[in-house]
Structure 1
């Protein structure tokens, strides 16, 4: 939710109406957020089986920075590829 809200605030400052700003934020961030979540969850899944079902166990929380780094490393090339083709965050750049 916060990923969308950062983009939403930025395009609202560009004087877009709320409905259009929502559409731009969804178009710009959905693939990026989906890839990031997919990778982070794929990395955490084996750990939750090992330490129990709670995502708040110490072993799970300690590994959070590593999972986020891993997801970032995979998401960055995806974002660059999309931006190079005029998709993703490139949609937002038209409103700045």
Structure 2
């Protein structure tokens, strides 16, 4: 794998990392508090966006971009990717019988999350490739990832 596909896979792994942190945290909190499906999903999605955006904005800010511009770069880079990932993984979680009702100590909960993340990753890679090919999505932020202000 080379070129744009490698960049798309890396962008999707980056997205998956932030989404997984927020998603798992939201699902664990909602499930532990005994919340119903939709409040739990809303919390998980909100935290997925928060953590996903947070992982992107840090290197952009370290590269010396001002906060307002860094927010713009971050939104342009990650919004579509996170949105696709969240739609797919939450649809799978809601669609797997018993997944949302399972407690955090139940293997069904964790297996369902793992399946949801795997499918979301596979669906999101070509979306990110399409965006990158057009100079959008993660291509917008790529130049800032290893740049630091001296």
Q: TM-score range by the shorter chain?
A: 0.7 to 0.9
SS of the residue corresponding to residue 26 of structure 1 reads helix
SS of the residue corresponding to residue 78 of structure 1 reads helix
1:13 maps onto 2:69 in alignment: no
Contact between 2:102 and 2:109, CA under 8 Å: does it hold in 1? yes
SS of the residue corresponding to residue 32 of structure 1 reads helix
1:65 maps onto 2:114 in alignment: yes
Aligned length: 94
Contact between 2:85 and 2:121, CA under 8 Å: does it hold in 1? yes
1:51 maps onto 2:98 in alignment: yes
Q: Which runs of 5+ in 2 are unaligned?
A: 1-49
Match for residue 133 of structure 2 among 81, 84, 90: 84
Q: Which residue of 1 aligns with 2:3?
A: none
Q: Which residue of 1 aligns with 2:78?
A: 29
**Runs of 4+ residues deviating >2 angstroms:** 50-58, 93-96
Root-mean-square deviation over aligned CA pairs: 1.8
Q: Please, what TM-score do these two structures have when normalized by structure 1?
A: 0.86
Q: Please, what TM-score do these two structures have when normalized by structure 2?
A: 0.57
How far the C-alpha of 1:2 sits from its partner, in A, is: 1.2
Q: Distance in 2 between matches of 1:4 and 1:52?
A: 27
Query: What whole-Å deviation, never above 9, does each CA across 1:16-72 have from its counterpart, x for those lacking one?
Result: 01111011101100000000000001111122xx32754645222222111101000
